Every structure is written in C-alpha cells, then in structure tokens.
C-alpha cells in the first residue's frame, strides 16, 4: 500500500511537470521546476516573461483543471461503484452526463442561435446535470422501500429521456451548432482558465473530502444493505450524502470541461487491483491517480497532433484500456 | 426484564399479512427457536426483531427499549444478526470482515480502538478462526464461512443474537459444531438467542423454548420437549411425524404417507 501510494504521488509530480513543460513553446524542465519552487518561496524566478506567460497563464490552469477533473471523476466513480455495489457504475450513472449534455445543447443551439458557444454553457450544463440527478433521486431513491437497483433503473430512464430531448434539439439546429455540441460533448480542457479553476475548486474539494470520508461506510456497505444496517450503518443517509457529493462534484467538472469518459470507471478499477478492495484505500489513491492520469492524457491530447488536439476522452480510453488489461492479466480479478 | 419482547406484532407486505398478532417474551440467557413450515413467517419475524422490517402493528422491544425508537447504531449495540444468506465480499480478509462488527462501537469516522481490536482477537480465538485471519473470505468453506459470520455477530458484543437458518448448507458435523458453539455462548456469556431452524431434531435438542409459526400466526409456544412431542406439530407441517428417543434425545422422524416398499 505504501509503495503504491508513493508511486502514485511520484506519478502525480511527473504529470504536473509534464503538463507545464511539454507544448509547442519549448521550456526547459529545470526552469519550470525552479520556477515552481520560486512560487513557494524557494530560490528565484527562472523563466523568461514569455515562458512565464505560457506556463502560468496557459498551461498551469489547464493542468490544474485536469488535476481537479481527474481526481473528482475518479473518486466519484469509486464511490458510485461502492454505493451501488456495481463494477460498471461510473459518475454518469444517474443522468449527470445526459443532463449536462441537454443543458449545454440548449445553450449552444437555442440561446446562441448557432453563433458560437455562449459563456453560460457551463451554467446550463450544471443545472441540467444536477436537475437530472435530482429527478432520478425523486423517482428511484427517496422511497424507504427503494434499493440501489431502483435508483439505477430510474437513472437509465431519465438519461434516455434527456438524451432523446437533446437529440431532438440537435436535429432542429444547424450543422455548425451540431459540431460545437459534439466538440463540447467530447470534453476538453482547452478553454480552462484560472477563472474556471476558482469556480470549480470549492465544489471539487468539498465533494472529494466527503467521498473519501465515506470510505469506511462503503467498506461496511459491501455486505449489502440489510447487513450494513444491522451493523449500525444508516445506509439510506450515507447513500444520499455520497451520491449527492459525487454528483455535485461531477456536475461541476462536466459543466466546466464537458464529458470526459473512462476516467471514472477505469481509475478506481486499476487502483482496486493495486491496493485491494477496501474503499479506505481505493478512494484516496484514486484521487491522486485520477489527477495524474488525466493530466498525462491531456498532455498527450494537446501535443500528439499539434497544433490540433485529440479529443481527451479518446486519449483516456486509448491509454486506460491497455493499462487496465495489462494489470488485469497480471492480477486475479477482485470483487467490488 | 425480557431480552426480547413482542407485543401483538403484525407485519404486512402490501396487502399480504406475513406475521399476525404475535406476542412473546424471551428471557435473558435463553435460546428460543422459531420453527414452522415454509412461508410461516419465520424470517419476517426475526428480521423484524433485528429492526430490518417495520411492524404494521404492535411493537418489538430489546432489553426494554422499543426497536422503533432506536437508530441503526443504537440497535447494533443491542441486537446482532446472522442472516440466512450473508453477503461475503470477495477480497476482504477474515479479520476485516469480523471487525465490521465493531463499527457501531467506534463509528464510521474513527478507526477501531485497541479495545475494539482486543474484542475481535478474542472472538477469533473463541471461534478458532485465528489461523484464517488473513484469508480472503471468498476462499472459506461453508462451515468456516458460517463461523466467520457468527464471529462478526459476536464481535458486536450484544446481549441478543438473531440467527436466520444459520446451519443452511452445512454438513451434519458443521451443523453440530456451530450449534454447540452457540450453546456455549448462551451458557458462558448469558447470550439470548433467537433462531429459526428447519431441522426439528436440532431445534428440539438445542433450544430451551420452541415457537411454532404457521401462516404468520404463533400456534404453539413452550418448552422444546413439549412442543416437539405435541400432536399439533405434525398437523401444522401437514405430514406424519414420529418422535424417537435416542439416548435421552428426541429425534423427529418424518413418516411417508404411502405404504413403504424397500427402495421405493
């Protein structure tokens, strides 16, 4: 466990440096590392003004939003898998993605009348995402007799409904609008600035703290709802809090950077294979691993076919799937 | 004060009555087994005692405190449950599984204390599970698994333990081992046991008291030997039964309706 934790922290540090150093404008690694230390009061600035602008105004906010998005999606995926006791659960299970997609589509198509992506797209995406989760909960989660299966089925129904509404909206719009919606849906960190970071940061920090803090409860809940209750866990309250925190954090991230797939499902599984089945270990390691993973993926996405960019979701799948398969073949499969 | 007291307890699932008007007081340090044919309401009754179901009428009290007035944590301090089909999460060690029984004591946001760890060690020792402590729970045999589930319940340090068909799927030796172990807990620790069992012979041999349910209603209640030898028992099971004395122990033998032919 200690080895994995140390390795993950090293990977995170390397990812951060890569995120700041690699790009069309060449900046020596030692200068960036020196400037990082200068920012925390050790040594003096080592970057030229141009390099400083490129690193701290363009690359740093993008890297930081990558850290936040990766850690939030990974920990939300882990908590969803724990609370639903379902290995296929991901942060979009209860309709966050379809709700955000509908909200963003509405903003891009109906409000802007096809003229670019309006600045309030994130707001409508956030409202759509949270609205979808709330409706899902009202349908499938608030009844005392409901269980996680009911909630998942409600999520499937709500997601289908919202996706069909989104498809209808797209069908009514121009080809240009459809392209912009499609680009948004693929997810990208390209437009992230410090403003986005400060907007998303409070949600993500609070939600990650809640999710990680629920690790022990999720460990107990691995024996099922009735047994957990008999062991003293207020299952319905824990489930509500954990789902609310995961969904809120995911909605904040999705509204800022679009739909980034794969991180929320694959990172907790990779971590589980490395540290075992306890959520007290899976969740904190997923926070760090997810952050490192997404920053690496974004560095590849923005450099491999520069000056164009690959969709981030494509890169996360291209890296994550082989890594997952390799680890899976080396270790025996473990239950959720 | 009774360990478990049911007053006019009824439980419904929609329009269907699962348990009807059951009143029962179980004294501390005794073993009460609920028997009855399939669908009699045994599991519903023990789940209601464990607080997993809400009565539609009447009440359940554990050590004088109404179950309905307790939250999950308070309930877990008073009554432990061994379910009929426990969920065994693959990948978890036996020690971690048994230690789940201490969650109600240390809470969800604190690690187990030294005292909690001592309780776990002591129970592992008593149930001969020390050698299995690092084993993955999924690799245990049926008998070892049932002992582990019982260990988790005992780790809760409650005065009442409710067991729903605890010997299902075990061979004869493991059935006897588990029931002997429970009996010793009753004698040595003053535990109150409420269990459901299908095996009438074992029910009669281990319980102090038998309660027969049929169609959700309590139709017989009394000392184990009395209930086992009652004519009504066979009537409620809808079959012929004989009770044979084997070295002072009652053995319940089912008798076929059709004339007996060797090998048929």
Q: How confident is the model at residue A143 (pLDDT cuts 50, 70, 90)?
A: low
Residues of chain A with Cβ-Cβ distance to B88 below 8 Å are 223
Tell me: the pLDDT tens digits for A173-229?
Answer: 777 778 888 878 878 888 788 888 998 899 999 999 999 999 999 999 999 989 999
- What is the predicted pLDDT for the residue at B261? 58
H or E stretch at B35: strand B31-35
Strands B31-35 and B192-196: parallel
- Which whole number is the average pLDDT over B134-147? 91
A293-307 confidence digits (pLDDT tens): 999 999 998 888 877
Alpha-carbon torsion A88, A95, A258, A311, what sign? positive
Instruction: Extract the tokens encoding A91.
Output: 């942060």
Q: Which residues of B touch A (CB under 8 A)?
A: 47, 50-52, 71-73, 75-77, 79-81, 83, 86-92, 96-97, 100-101, 103-104, 108-109, 138, 152, 156
Which A residues, 277 through 306, put their C-beta within 8 Å of a C-beta on chain B? 277-278
Are residues B108 and A220, on separate chains, in Cβ contact within 8 Å?
yes
Mean of pLDDT values over B87-91: 90
For residue B24, give the H/E element and its range: strand B16-26
pLDDT tier, A145 (very low <50, low <70, confident <90, very high otherwise):
low
Cα–Cα distance between B185 and B201 in angstroms, integer? Answer: 20
A234 contacts on B by Cβ (under 8 Å) = 71-73
Quote ipTM for the complex. 0.89
Query: Which of A86, A221, A225, A227 should we substitute to test contact with B (largest number of B Cβ atoms within 10 Å)?
Result: A227
Of A12 and A48, the one with more pLDDT: A12
* pLDDT 10s digits, B15-62: 899 999 999 999 999 999 999 999 999 999 999 999 999 999 999 999
Cβ B194 vs Cβ B49: under 8 Å:
yes
Residue of A213, A229, A277 lying closest to B72 (CB–CB): A229
Task: Give me the percent of chain A exceeding a pLDDT of 70.
Answer: 93
pLDDT (mean) for A1-26? 88
More confident residue, B89 or A123: B89
Which domains are seen in chain B, by residue range? 4-255 (3.40.50.300)
Chain B nearest C-alpha distance from A200 (Å): 27
A120-129, A154-163, A269-278, B209-218: which range is least confident on average?
A120-129
- Residue range A24-34: average pLDDT? 84
Q: Over 70: is that where the pLDDT of A142 sits?
A: no
Which of B72, B74, B93, B134 should be substituted to probe chain A, the one whose Cβ sees the most A Cβ atoms within 10 Å? B72
Say how many CA atoms lie within 13 Å of B10 toward its Cβ.
10
Give yes or no for residue A331 having a pLDDT over 80: no
Own/partner pairs, A4-11, CB within 8 angstroms, 24+ separation = A4/A274, A4/A275, A4/A285, A5/A285, A5/A288, A8/A285, A8/A288, A8/A289, A8/A292, A9/A288, A11/A288, A11/A289, A11/A292
- DSSP, collapsed to helix, strand or coil, labels residue A142 as coil
Task: Read off the pTM.
Answer: 0.86
At B200 the pLDDT is 93
- Looking at domain A2-330, does it have CATH number 3.30.70.580? no
**Span A102-116, pLDDT tens digits:** 888 888 876 555 555
pLDDT confidence bin for A287, thresholds 50/70/90: very high
- Residue A12 Cα, gap to closest chain B Cα (Å): 27
> Any idea where the domains of chain A sit in the sequence?
2-330
Widest CA span in chain B: 66
Nearest CA in chain B to A233: B72
**Can you give the pLDDT at residue A78?**
94
CA-nearest residue of chain A to B102?
A231
pLDDT at residue A258 is higher than 70: yes
Residue A195: per-residue pLDDT: 87
**What's the helix, strand, coil split of chain A in %, to 5?**
75, 0, 25
Asked if A57 and A188 count as a contact pair (C-beta separation under 8 A), the reply is: no
Strand pairing class (B192-196; B217-223): unpaired
Least confident of A29-43, A274-288, B70-84, B221-235: A29-43
Q: 3-state DSSP call for residue B225?
A: helix
Q: Is the dihedral of CA A108, A111, A113, A118 positive or negative?
A: negative
Length of chain B: 264
Dump pLDDT digits (tens) for A63-89: 999 999 999 999 999 999 998 888 778
Residue A37 confidence (pLDDT): 85
- What does the mean pLDDT of chain B come to? 91
């Amino acid at each position: 466990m200690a080895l994995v934790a140390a390795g993950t922290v090293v990977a995170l540090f390397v990812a951060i440096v890569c995120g700041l150093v690699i790009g069309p404008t060449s900046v020596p690694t030692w200068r960036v590392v020196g400037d990082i230390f200068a920012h925390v009061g050790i040594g003096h600035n080592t970057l030229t003004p141009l390099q400083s602008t490129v690193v701290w105004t363009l690359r740093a906010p993008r890297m930081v939003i990558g850290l936040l998005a990766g850690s939030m999606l990974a920990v939300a995926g882990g908590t969803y898998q724990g609370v639903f006791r379902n290995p296929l659960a991901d942060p979009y299970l209860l309709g966050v993605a379809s709700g955000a997609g509908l909200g963003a589509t509405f903003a891009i198509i109906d409000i802007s009348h096809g003229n670019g992506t309006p600045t309030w797209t994130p707001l409508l995406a956030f409202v759509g995402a949270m609205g979808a989760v709330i409706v899902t909960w009202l349908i499938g989660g608030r009844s005392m007799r409901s269980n996680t299966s009911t909630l998942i089925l409600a999520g499937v129904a709500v997601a289908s409904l919202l996706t069909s509404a989104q498809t209808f909206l797209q069908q009514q719009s121009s080809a240009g609008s459809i392209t912009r919606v499609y680009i948004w849906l693929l997810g990208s960190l390209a437009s992230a600035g410090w403003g986005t970071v400060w907007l998303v940061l409070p949600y993500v920090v609070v939600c990650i703290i809640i999710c990680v803090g629920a690790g022990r409860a999720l460990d107990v809940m691995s024996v099922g709802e009735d047994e957990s209750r008999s062991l003293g866990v207020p299952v319905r309250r824990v489930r509500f809090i954990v789902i609310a925190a995961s969904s809120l954090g995911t909605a904040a991230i999705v509204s800022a950077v679009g739909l980034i797939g794969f991180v929320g499902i694959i990172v907790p599984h990779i971590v589980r294979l490395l540290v075992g089945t306890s959520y007290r270990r899976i969740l904190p390691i997923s926070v760090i691993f997810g952050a490192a993973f997404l920053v690496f993926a974004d560095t590849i996405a923005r450099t491999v076919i520069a000056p164009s960019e690959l969709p981030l979701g494509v890169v996360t799948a291209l890296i994550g799937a082989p890594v997952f398969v390799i680890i899976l073949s080396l270790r025996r499969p473990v239950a959720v | 004060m009774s360990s478990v007291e049911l007053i006019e307890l009824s439980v419904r699932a929609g329009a269907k009555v699962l348990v009807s008007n059951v009143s029962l007081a179980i004294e501390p340090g005794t073993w009460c087994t609920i028997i009855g044919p399939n669908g009699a309401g045994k599991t519903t009754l023990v789940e209601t005692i464990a607080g997993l179901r809400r009565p539609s009428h009447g009440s359940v009290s554990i050590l004088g405190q109404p179950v309905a007035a307790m939250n999950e944590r308070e309930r877990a301090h008073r009554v432990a449950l061994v379910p009929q089909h426990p969920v065994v999460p693959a990948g978890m060690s036996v020690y971690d599984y048994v230690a789940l029984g201490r969650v109600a004591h240390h809470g969800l946001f604190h690690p187990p204390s030294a005292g909690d760890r001592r309780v776990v060690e002591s129970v592992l020792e008593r149930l001969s599970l020390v050698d299995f402590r690092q084993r993955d729970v999924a690799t245990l045999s049926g008998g070892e698994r049932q002992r582990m589930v019982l260990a988790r319940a005992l780790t809760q340090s409650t005065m009442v333990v409710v067991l729903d068909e605890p010997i299902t799927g075990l061979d004869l030796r493991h059935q006897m081992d588990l029931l002997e172990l429970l009996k010793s807990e009753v004698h040595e620790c003053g535990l109150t046991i409420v269990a459901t069992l299908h095996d009438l012979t074992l029910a009669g041999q281990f319980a102090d008291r038998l309660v027969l349910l049929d169609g959700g209603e309590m139709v017989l209640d009394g000392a184990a030997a009395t209930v086992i030898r009652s004519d009504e028992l066979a009537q409620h099971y809808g079959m012929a039964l004989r009770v044979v004395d084997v070295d002072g122990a009652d053995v319940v033998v089912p008798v076929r309706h059709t004339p007996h032919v060797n090998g048929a």
